[in-house]
Amino acid sequence: MKNILLAVTGGIAAYKAIDLTSKLTQSGYTVRVMLTENAQQFVTPLAFQAISRNHVYTDTFDEKDVSEIQHITLADWADAVIVAPATANTISKLANGLADNIVTSTLLATTAPVFIAPAMNVHMLEHPSIVKNMSQLRNYGYKFIAPGEGYLACGYVAKGRMEEPITILTIIDDYFKEQSNPQTFALQGKNVLVTAGPTVEKVDAVRYFTNRSSGKMGYALAEAARNLGANVILVSGETSLSQPSGVEFIQISSAEEMFQAVKERMDDMDMIIKAAAVADYTPVKTVNNKMKKQDGNLELTFKRTTDILKYLGEHKDKQYLVGFAAETDNVETYAMGKLKKKNADVIVANHVANQEIGFRSSDNEVEMFFANGDRVPLAKESKQKIAFKILNEITSRWED
């Protein structure tokens, strides 16, 4: 079985790392654990030693075997490294190449895949310096296991909880299963951003405009990209779908919020997939209270929202840009026009008037229009299978 090196850093979520060690060991992995000095304020080396049945490493200079350089041996031994919990402090050290303890020294020396499971207060997680450092680590090829939402030790109910051990185990299991299939590495190390779902445009405290998008296609694409080895960010409107594991998840509401989320991250991306159904118009004026009905008709004035796909096409550098065209008629004409006007690399078009493959359906049938003139129809299948085929067609043309 595979060798897992678990790095535990100094946050209250360190207690979860004991459970993670147990689950990994029970699943057949050989686990060795490293603890920072701060981690030992929350958990003890003995707990991990008892569960893993291996030495626990706490000091770079406390060599267990004088014939070895401990942190180099650990770095070479691992088939994968998990940092759980990963504090803001450790993330920042890694992003800047600091090596002042057993964990950071070993991580700088390893060539194994590194999975980082952040855990911190939501304001720390969203601080510009931490966002920048996590982005840098993604560029280095580190894989992030996005934190969940819930009750935090500080008393907040927000995003920042370390992902549950059973989910981390599933991600590690999936990684090694996929490793045996060369096709699963088609996007290895690539940074992919996917938008999904509808946007919501507020009118007043209780009313808004939206559309019928369920987000299923976008979520399927995010999961397919993850399974192909990519570091994935999913920017999602409001849906009833469960947040995919192993994907950084950003919840937005309006078209403007989606635009800002994409704009802030586009420079770090290798591929951007615009699968969301974004509102073309939003009310000029909104009110915070509920509007009371009055005699006569109600007139609302709308203004254009930012055309996100057009903006990306005008400002892209290295990014491979994928757009979607959900049409009810003249699908080919509109798709080809969109491909040119938005400067996309490919437009994926589907006929949403067909309820079997339209909004909220579990299946889809699309045709891909590439900038080089290629056209690829994909027959009706589940959206999960269509997502994989879309990415397969794209990656086969990646160098082109």
Confidence at residue 165, expressed as pLDDT on a 0 to 100 scale: 94
Q: Catalytic residue positions?
A: 154
What single letter denotes the amino acid at residue 268? D
Q: What is the DSSP string of 75-134?
A: HHH-SEEEEEEE-HHHHHHHHTT---SHHHHHHHH--S-EEEEE---HHHHTSHHHHHHH
- Of 346, 353, 355, the C-alpha closest to 375 is 346
CATH 3.40.50.10300 intervals, the chain = 183-395
Q: How many other β-carbons are positioned within 10 Å of the β-carbon of residue 25? A: 17
Instruction: Given CATH 3.40.50.970, say whether it is the number of domain 3-179.
Output: no
Whether the predicted pLDDT of 119 surpasses 80: yes
pLDDT at 181: 60
Q: Please check whether residue 116 is in contact with residue 144, taking contact to mean a CB–CB distance below 8 angstroms.
A: yes
Binding residues for CTP: 280, 290, 324, 338, 342
Distance CA 333, CA 341 (A): 12
Beta strand pairing call for 320-327 and 375-382: unpaired
Q: How far is CA 220 from the centre of its chain?
A: 12
Q: Is the pTM of this model over 0.85?
A: no
Q: Which residue has the higher pLDDT, 244 or 75?
A: 75
The binding site consists of 280, 290, 324, 338, 342
| Cα 145 to Cα 172, 239, 255, distances in angstroms | 10, 21, 26
User: Considering the domain 183-395, what is its CATH architecture?
Assistant: 3-Layer(aba) Sandwich (3.40)
Q: Are 247 and 226 in contact (CB under 8 A)?
A: yes
Query: Within 13 Å of residue 38, how many CA atoms lie on the same side as its CB?
Result: 16
Instruction: Indicate the DSSP class of residue 224.
Output: H
The predicted pLDDT at position 180 comes to 62
Could you give the residue range(s) of every CATH 3.40.50.1950 domain in the chain? 3-179
pLDDT in tens, 156-168: 887 888 999 999 9
Residue type, 317: D
Q: What mean pLDDT is predicted for residues 275-301?
A: 91
For the stretch 203-209, contacts whose Cβ atoms lie closer than 8 Å and that sit 24 or more positions apart, written own/partner, are: 203/283, 203/286, 203/287, 203/291, 203/300, 204/286, 204/287, 204/288, 204/289, 204/290, 204/291, 205/287, 205/288, 205/289, 205/290, 206/290, 207/290, 207/291, 209/279, 209/281, 209/282, 209/283
Give pLDDT, residue 102: 96
C-alpha 178/C-alpha 338 separation (Å) is 35
Q: What is the pLDDT of residues 35-64, one digit of tens each?
A: 999 999 999 999 999 999 999 999 998 887
Cα distances from 26 to residues 6, 19, 33, 218, 263, in angstroms, run 15, 11, 15, 34, 43
Q: Length of the chain in residues, anyone? A: 400
Burial of 203 (0-12, 13-18, 19+ CB in 10 A): middle
pLDDT of residue 182: 53
Q: Which of 392, 398, 253 is nearest to 321 (CA)?
A: 398
Highest mean pLDDT among 10-14, 60-64, 68-72: 10-14
**Residues with Cβ < 8 Å from 65, sequence gap 6 or more?**
73
Contact 251, 170 (CB under 8 A): no
Where is pLDDT greater, at 323 or 63? 323
Q: How many CB atoms lie within 10 A of CB 78?
A: 24
* pLDDT recorded at residue 341: 95
